[in-house]
Amino acid sequence: MTQFTDPKTLNNADIESGAIFAPKFDANGLVAVVTQEASSGDVLMVAHMNADAIAETLRSGYATYWSRSRAKLWKKGESSGELQEVVEIRADCDQDALLLIVNQTGHGAACHTGRKSCFYRKVETVDGQTVLADSGSERLFDPADVYGR
């Protein structure tokens, strides 16, 4: 596994203002990642990375995440062609979350449902019930054609 500086070896000033990249991984060795489209500023998805996923992303220039459901590295778009070319990686103030700013390739869909963003539904209250309502985000590809499901 790739090693980064252990944040426990740094003081708060180094973590919050210094130049040392020391991601604070959780108990499962993961850090949350928000992915944003460079051209529009739209939030595309939220995923997780472990040290190897960060290292591969830095090496290749394409977003690679840790798939918790499959328990393996996952190069975004590997099977769909919807690759994410990394423009910039940012760490939040205490380095326990990352922001990937990407150029979304392919049809422009980051979501496995074929939509641009995974955030295609909004939470609403209708007649006292909390429901999810479609925001009107169209499908850019048919998942059945791409994934065979």
* Digit-coded pLDDT (tens) for 91-106: 999 999 999 999 999 9
What pLDDT does 2 receive?
A: 77
pLDDT per position as a tens digit, 37-55 = 999 999 999 999 999 999 9
Asked whether residue 118 is assigned to any structural domain, the reply reads no
Domain containing 38 equals 7-113
Give me the CATH number covering residue 16: 3.10.20.810
**Annotation-wise, does 96 bind a ligand?**
yes
**Annotation-wise, does 6 bind a ligand?**
no
Asked whether residue 139 is assigned to any structural domain, the reply reads no
Asked whether residue 85 is assigned to any structural domain, the reply reads yes
**Annotation-wise, does 93 bind a ligand?**
yes
Domain count of the fold of the chain:
1
**Annotation-wise, does 94 bind a ligand?**
yes
- Percent of all residues in the chain with a pLDDT value above 90, rounded to a whole number: 95
Query: What does the alpha-carbon distance between residue 72 and residue 74 come to, in Å, rounded to a whole number?
Result: 6
pLDDT exceeds 80 at position 21: yes
pLDDT per position as a tens digit, 116-143 = 999 999 999 999 999 999 999 999 999 9
Residues near 148 by beta carbon (within 8 Å), at least 6 away in sequence:
none
pLDDT band at 64 (very low <50, low <70, confident <90, very high): very high
Q: What is the dihedral of CA 50, 4, 94, 57, to 10 degrees?
A: -50
**Annotation-wise, does 26 bind a ligand?**
no
pLDDT exceeds 80 at position 1: no
**Annotation-wise, does 118 bind a ligand?**
yes
pLDDT, averaged across the chain: 95
What pLDDT does 148 receive?
A: 81
